Amino acid sequence: MKRNLSLLFAGALMGASAVSLFHGTSGFSANAAGSETYRQLAIFGDIFERVRAQYVTPPDDKKLVESAINGMLTSLDPHSSYLDAEAAKDMRVQTKGEFGGLGIEVTMDNELVKVVSPIDDTPASRAGVLAGDLISAIDGEEVRGMSLNDAVDKMRGPVNTPIELTILREGADKPIELTIVRDIIKVKAVKFRVEEDVGYLKITSFTEKTFDDLMSAIDTISKEVPDDKLKGYVLDLRLNPGGLLDQAVSVSDAFLDRGEIVSTRGRDANDIARFDSRPGDVLNGKPVIVLINGGSASASEIVAGALQDHRRATVLGTQSFGKGSVQTIIPLGENGALRLTTALYYTPSGESIQGKGITPDIKVDQPLPEELQGRDLRRGESDLRGHIKGEEESEEGSGSIAYVPPDAKDDVQLNAALELLRGEKTDPAFPPNPDKAVMNQ
């Protein structure tokens, strides 16, 4: 079922990642520019030279050109951009799902890096790093003043190289100094557990490892819970920014037995690509409920839309992000890469979710805790300045609150799904009827 489509995730923006096609060459064809275009380019050249010659401090020529390129691309839409060599490298690391590092999940807390949790059997866990630890210095450099991305970049690095962390731990009377040797960290794209008689599958992102991780999780759950006792599965796509299109197709295919999964359509009317499922449902028809919210974007919307249109799963939660455009990644050799929006994608029913998102079959809002009330946690493509207006987009727009409580007992959406799967509550949308699948004719 796994496919090799050479399709690549282009990066993250406001919680939405871009589904992308990776081009192996920088060759292209285009309409010849007219005389007016060349006149405008001459104006640009004139301004560039005046800035170089007359700006109050000597500017960096390379930075000027890169900023001009990025200005051109970002004026098109929020997802087109220029990636310098370092950014292009980071993108490849993210999609590969493994990197040289320590093995900790982190966030910022009062200007310090807080360890959410160490990943099992990684350099950090073996060195004794604990959840809740605060990292105050990295290789002797104070963390205060760094962004989270800067701190993460400093902690990542070549395998077998040492790094020194200064840790503040509750109950310790003085800072703890640790020297840790970096190793290859393989990020699990799928987290899973058994909720008594229900299998819970959370896909955090669509990297090269997602499909394999999903199959491994389903295999483990099926061995742990007898088939006659297993009520079904919850597929949690909340806060999933997206990723590789080939992985979204493979994940959808795992649950489907036939029919289209997604199609993409470019500027040319004939530029259409369709991706179809193949025979074989790995769950053998077991009920599935998909969870989405405003943090579910791009590749995760492809999966939710495919399972919803085929009536293979019931979608529960709130409106998804609405990121329905495709970015082509064009390598520029040592100069990085160009990320350019080249198409929109469509669900099996033929609908574009650009600026609209996936509407859940069962709407269940997740209440915010008191400390987060009043904060703007809504995320949606339609809120992004300069976004491409979708065919189905309305004044209501796309997106919703992007929040999932850390404790499952407070997770209203998850508990609603569990009650439906166990028959403790009923809803006309569950279970869905495959005979009422909505396909594009």
Residue 418, number of CB atoms within 10 A of its CB: 22
Q: Pick from 177, 187, 183: which is nearest to 207 by CA?
A: 187
365 CA to centre of own chain: 22
Q: Pick from 135, 83, 79: which is nearest to 109 by CA?
A: 135
Token digits of residue 419: 């009650």
Active site residue 309: yes
Mapped onto helix, strand or coil, the DSSP state of residue 289 is strand
Q: Pick from 214, 253, 256, 257: which is nearest to 237 by CA?
A: 214
Handedness of CA 363, 368, 374, 380 (dihedral sign): negative
Active site residue 188: no
Calpha distance 354→352 (Å, rounded): 5
Out of 114, 209, 323, 356, pick the active-site residue.
323
* DSSP output for 77-105: -TT-EEE-HHHHHHHHHHHHTEEEE--EE
Is-contact 382 393, C-beta < 8 A? Answer: yes
Calpha distance 14→8 (Å, rounded): 19
Out of 298, 352, 382, 400, pick the active-site residue.
298
Out of 213, 309, 361, 411, pick the active-site residue.
309
Token digits of residue 109: 């807390």
Token digits of residue 238: 């909340």
- Give all strands (DSSP E) within 314-389, no chain letters: 314-317, 325-331, 337-346, 362-363, 378-379
Q: 311 to each of 167, 432, 441, how far by Cα in Å?
A: 50, 5, 16
Active site residue 89: no
CA atoms within 13 A on the CB side of 46: 6
105 CA to centre of own chain: 16
> How large is the C-alpha radius of gyration of the chain?
24
Peptide bond into 431 cis (omega under 30): yes
Residues forming the active site: 298, 309, 323
